[in-house]
Amino acid sequence: MDFIHDKDLISIIEVYNSNNKFLLAHMDKEKVDMEWLENEIQGMRQVGFYSCKIVHKETLEIIGLMDFSVNKESYLSLLMIHDEYKNRVYGKEVYLGLEEYLKRNKVNDIRIDVVYDYNEKVLSFWLKNGFERLENIKLSWSGKELLAVKMKKNIEV
């Protein structure tokens, strides 16, 4: 995990565009472009989020990305793995690494909002990793309203 730099943007677009179901469900788009990505990363920075790339240890290939904040209650906005690398434990490894990082930075809780009406595996993943459902909510992303569940996990040491 490392910050996203300009030289990484093409690989990050590939990660997004490999997740067709996600893009269609969240934005009614099949692909994103460089302008959208630059605006998204800039917008996340402006509200205090870190945008990080996920790099495969052996190949050094970018296989995912993550947006999160570091506060007493951290907010994990996005954890996305390239479609070719899904179901190989990378998502869990990355999440557990993030959790350890947040513990070292005195974070008490992690909050996520999970859009649940396009892929049942997503909600199941977070429940298996110790998150509790708090309430159903509506999110707005890229002009689209999404049904989601607000979830939280206490990670105090």
Find all residues with CB under 8 Å of 43, minimum gap 6, and list them: none
Looking at the structure of the chain, the number of domains it has is 1
What is the rounded distance in angstroms from the CA atom of residue 91 to the CA atom of residue 75? 17
Residue 126 falls within a domain, yes or no? no
Model confidence at 142: pLDDT above 80 = no
Contact 156, 108 (CB under 8 A): yes
The position carrying tokens 């605006």 is 39
Residue 10 falls within a domain, yes or no? yes
Helix, coil or strand: residue 18: helix
Residue 37 falls within a domain, yes or no? yes
**Which residues constitute the domain of residue 43?**
2-111
What is the rounded distance in angstroms from the CA atom of residue 77 to the CA atom of residue 112? 6
The DSSP secondary structure of 55-110, one letter per residue, reads: E-TTT--EEEEEEE--SSEEEEEEEEE-GGGTTSSHHHHHHHHHHHHHHHTT--EE
What pLDDT digit, counting tens, does each position of 51-99 carry? Answer: 999 999 999 999 999 999 999 999 999 999 999 999 899 999 999 999 9
Residue 145 falls within a domain, yes or no? no
Q: What is the pLDDT of residue 86?
A: 92
Model pTM?
Answer: 0.93
Residue 151 falls within a domain, yes or no? no
Residue 80 falls within a domain, yes or no? yes
What is the rounded distance in angstroms from the CA atom of residue 80 to the CA atom of residue 95? 10
Cross-strand partners of 53: 2, 65
Q: Residue 49 carries which side chain, given as an amino acid letter?
A: F
Residue 119 falls within a domain, yes or no? no
Residue 12 falls within a domain, yes or no? yes
Phi-psi domain of 48 (left: phi exceeds 0; alpha: psi -120 through 50; beta: other): left
Q: What is the CATH number of the domain that holds 68?
A: 3.40.630.30
What pLDDT digit, counting tens, does each position of 11-30 carry? Answer: 999 999 999 999 998 999 99
